[in-house]
Chains A and B, each alone.
Chain A
């Protein structure tokens, strides 16, 4: 049996089929093959009847727009019933202003003056949210900075745009609106969508969204002479203000790109409506750029050829494209295969009805019965000219579309009951195992076989080497949530400082730091019976991140409030006695849970050349250790204590009378061991479960 290859997807179809069984593209002309004699005369108006018929067929019942009629009103009026309520309200006269504004804002997005009343039309046949998605077709455009758009303007100009070309405004969009245009994507008017869809049906160009990507046939037009090329080519250059009467031809691109960019393929309705490319979702990875090689822009597919021929036909006619409504241009390629009727032009030539309901009316029905004389259509090759790569791409595209059609099985969330039970069990065991040693003062930590790590030893040596009553600067740069760990980790070092009689100046780059400092120092003071005020001064919060730390290191005392009467001057306080600048401090201790904050202190100290003058020791949360250790290894700090483990080593090395880390250690070790057991058992169990549940899935795939 003879087969016909579909001009759209290139798949073989039985000869007798009207439409492609794969992509629903039309395989045969809608009208009977015309006699050979017929030719089209320049200056002829396109026929209403056949084109509308064709459009209806091609659009699957979509409304047609007769020639010479303002398309907007008619379309939206007919769509009235199909429109969502809020859109219908747009059509109410009293809301014209709102519609204007909406159009202006959309224009702001798209760069196209948008007829607000025509706005709803693009949603025809699509789920209405797609309209919103469609608005993103040209987001790439807006992405470039405005001044950069000028460069594109130049590029466009090189493609033959008269620099003086003035954008023509749409009646519905004021000049003020045009000023605001930035070139964002927007849903095009109805007739643009129609033309875009029609081009899709006949394999018209489908640029990927960049405005300067001229459709192939359009760029051919440029060669035919400035009279035709200029208005068309203006699209890329002055895309921001492209008048929509002109956009019909040039804007097949946005009209097409809107659904293409916006319609994720899981919207079945959209898939039925749109050509396969249209099903590709917005994501770059979903529409790999090789798809552009499938597009007629390469000028290789018959669709592009046809488009080119149709434009050649246009060139033959002495009608400037600018004078044609866009939908007519969209019809052009179709007209090439449509039979045409010579319509009597003068009244005399037209016959008067003598009977029936039309009695007395003249020229109502065509003078020539039937389709009349038809011209010979240009020869078409139904053979698809595609190379291997394109075939491969087409296959991949098909895979993509198929994959999109299959409903994706979302990963089933765990059953709430089982999940909660697991949580409760973990919590129960954890609280018991951690709580028991705390409650009973149990000590299971055994003997420590390891030597003190060098970073902890170095930290304790620095503190031991401090002169008595030395001024020490301490940065409390952690958040309250980590205070539990940081206070345990820094406890031994801070105790050690107080035993050495150190006078503390507290600062913080965290807004909660002042309270944390007071809290920590207050707790230490309780255990060691001294008045915090005698031994520490809180300078408060350093805003500005790295810049704030830099300023502070330059002049620490500048952060003190100016001396006031009746208020004791902190400069005279014990902690600050003998301190004029940072180098007067004997040590800088940074307590932090965040590697970034630690890095700031290290870098600013290094940048100001203070590293040789003031030793730097850090107490960090266990989570920050891997990021902070390199600074110790590269000698940018003099000591490092990380987490409770570090504190425990510090405590053992210094042998402080009051141990703060040790009481925690047993509970900590037991807790860790419990979690190790839970993770090991639970991990294996879930791995087996996952592996077994994979088997049926794999079998399904094989089937």
Chain B
């Protein structure tokens, strides 16, 4: 059982973070914050442009983290990016195709693409198969996505979610097809593979910044400010702990 004091510390942390996100979202609407440049997003912008211009498709993979598991946050971030990408390419002949290795995520990707479809001016019927479940185990999911990458005129593949070693198969398929790959994961083993194999990589928590960098909304931007605050809070705690430990106080 979690000790009460620890639970309260956690609760306060969450409440303060949530309040700060909301407050900043309201207060900084007129002066939106500036963030460091991340080259991967510039490249993604070009890839989106090319896809829309040459009528090819974008592929976004949400990974295989369970919807009711602690790994789902990466997929939720991926869904924000999917919504934005779908809107940006809404007038393209080919809407993006989303793949997932978890049934819940597949349904969410369908809903996200559907809402983007409704918001667009496209009058063609929505194709629910643009949000797909390609497999229910990590490697079957990756293996099921391989044919999509080679058969469906994909020009850019965006991997945002929870992956494992199987992500190596996806990046190799991308490379074989000569398509642009932007990848990010919360899993360290996946990141290690992507570091070597992905054309563009978002490291660690940069995955969760995709919404802010894709202009998904003020709460996304205020999230990054709050993350920065918490980051320095943690750093100060570590430095204090180090000093106190060496001093023998702790």
Which residue of chain B lies nearest to A99 when distances are taken between CB atoms in the complex? B123
Residue A329, interface by CB 8 Å: no
Q: Which of B48, B88, B199 contacts A136 (CB 8 A)?
A: B88
Cα–Cα, bound, A48→B8 (Å): 69
The answer to whether A132 touches B90 (Cβ under 8 A) is yes
Query: A304 → chain B, closest Cβ, in Å?
Result: 16
Kindly count the residue-residue contacts between A and B in the assembled complex, taking CB atoms under 8 Å apart: 180
Counting chain B CB atoms within 10 Å of each CB, which of A133, A480, A593 scores highest? A133
Interface size class of B (residues with CB under 8 A): 35 or more
Residue B219, interface by CB 8 Å: yes
Q: Mark A267-299, 1 if CB is under 8 A from B, else 0.
A: 100000000000001111110111010000000
The answer to whether B164 touches A282 (Cβ under 8 A) is no
Q: Which of A86, A105, A289, A479 contacts B31 (CB 8 A)?
A: A289
Query: A494 → chain B, closest Cβ, in Å?
Result: 23
* Contact flag A511-B136 (CB < 8 Å), given A132-B91, A479-B164: yes
The answer to whether A607 touches B1 (Cβ under 8 A) is yes
The answer to whether B137 touches A283 (Cβ under 8 A) is no
Residue A670, interface by CB 8 Å: no
Q: Mark B105-137, 1 if CB is under 8 A from A, else 0.
A: 000000000000011111110000000000011
The answer to whether B136 touches A132 (Cβ under 8 A) is no
Cβ–Cβ < 8 Å partners of A411 in chain B: 199
The answer to whether B71 touches A596 (Cβ under 8 A) is yes
Residue A5, interface by CB 8 Å: no
Cα–Cα, bound, A89→B216 (Å): 32
* Contact flag A105-B119 (CB < 8 Å), given A144-B25, A283-B213: yes
Cβ–Cβ < 8 Å partners of B188 in chain A: 595, 626-627
Residue A98, interface by CB 8 Å: yes
Query: B188 → chain A, closest Cβ, in Å?
Result: 6
Query: A143 → chain B, closest Cβ, in Å?
Result: 2
The answer to whether B87 touches A135 (Cβ under 8 A) is yes
The answer to whether B42 touches A286 (Cβ under 8 A) is yes
Cβ–Cβ < 8 Å partners of B221 in chain A: 284
Q: Mark A68-95, 1 if CB is under 8 A from B, else 0.
A: 0000000000000000001101100000
* Contact flag A148-B180 (CB < 8 Å), given A136-B87, A143-B216: no
* Contact flag A264-B45 (CB < 8 Å), given A184-B119, A545-B66: yes
Residue A660, interface by CB 8 Å: no
The answer to whether A481 touches B119 (Cβ under 8 A) is no
* Contact flag A139-B87 (CB < 8 Å), given A102-B123, A479-B164, A545-B70: yes
The residues in A between 92 and 112 inclusive whose CB is less than 8 angstroms from any CB of B are 98, 102, 105-106, 108-109
Residue B215, interface by CB 8 Å: yes
Cβ–Cβ < 8 Å partners of A187 in chain B: 121
Query: B104 → chain A, closest Cβ, in Å?
Result: 13
Q: Mark B48-67, 1 if CB is under 8 A from A, else 0.
A: 11101100000000000010
The answer to whether A132 touches B30 (Cβ under 8 A) is no
The residues in B between 28 and 58 inclusive whose CB is less than 8 angstroms from any CB of A are 29-38, 41-42, 45-46, 48-50, 52-53
Cβ–Cβ < 8 Å partners of B121 in chain A: 87, 102, 106, 119, 131-132, 135, 187
Query: B33 → chain A, closest Cβ, in Å?
Result: 7
Cα–Cα, bound, A266→B44 (Å): 13
Which residue of chain B lies nearest to A623 when distances are taken between CB atoms in the complex? B189
The residues in B between 115 and 171 inclusive whose CB is less than 8 angstroms from any CB of A are 118-124, 136-139, 164-166
Cα–Cα, bound, A288→B221 (Å): 13
Residue A20, interface by CB 8 Å: no
The answer to whether B215 touches A109 (Cβ under 8 A) is no
* Contact flag A135-B214 (CB < 8 Å), given A148-B25, A481-B139: no
Cα–Cα, bound, A626→B68 (Å): 26
Cβ–Cβ < 8 Å partners of B96 in chain A: none
The answer to whether A481 touches B199 (Cβ under 8 A) is no
Residue A608, interface by CB 8 Å: yes
Q: Which of B52, B212, B215 contacts A282 (CB 8 A)?
A: B215
Cβ–Cβ < 8 Å partners of A212 in chain B: 29-30
The answer to whether A213 touches B29 (Cβ under 8 A) is yes
The answer to whether A132 touches B120 (Cβ under 8 A) is yes
Cα–Cα, bound, A261→B70 (Å): 34
Which residue of chain B lies nearest to A262 when distances are taken between CB atoms in the complex? B88
Residue A458, interface by CB 8 Å: no
Residue A210, interface by CB 8 Å: yes
16 more A-B residue pairs beyond the given contacts A131-B121, A132-B122, A511-B137, with a C-beta to C-beta distance below 8 A: A90-B123, A102-B123, A108-B118, A132-B121, A133-B88, A133-B90, A136-B215, A139-B84, A144-B218, A261-B215, A283-B42, A283-B213, A285-B41, A546-B70, A596-B71, A627-B188
Residue pairs across A and B with Cβ atoms less than 8 A apart, 9 shown, are A89-B123, A129-B52, A133-B91, A148-B25, A184-B119, A266-B49, A282-B88, A284-B215, A419-B175
Closest 3 CB pairs of A and B: A143-B217, A413-B178, A132-B91
Chain B positions within 8 Å of A, measured between CB atoms, are 1-2, 22, 25-26, 29-38, 41-42, 45-46, 48-50, 52-53, 66, 68-71, 84, 87-92, 118-124, 136-139, 164-166, 175-176, 178, 180, 187-189, 192, 199, 212-221
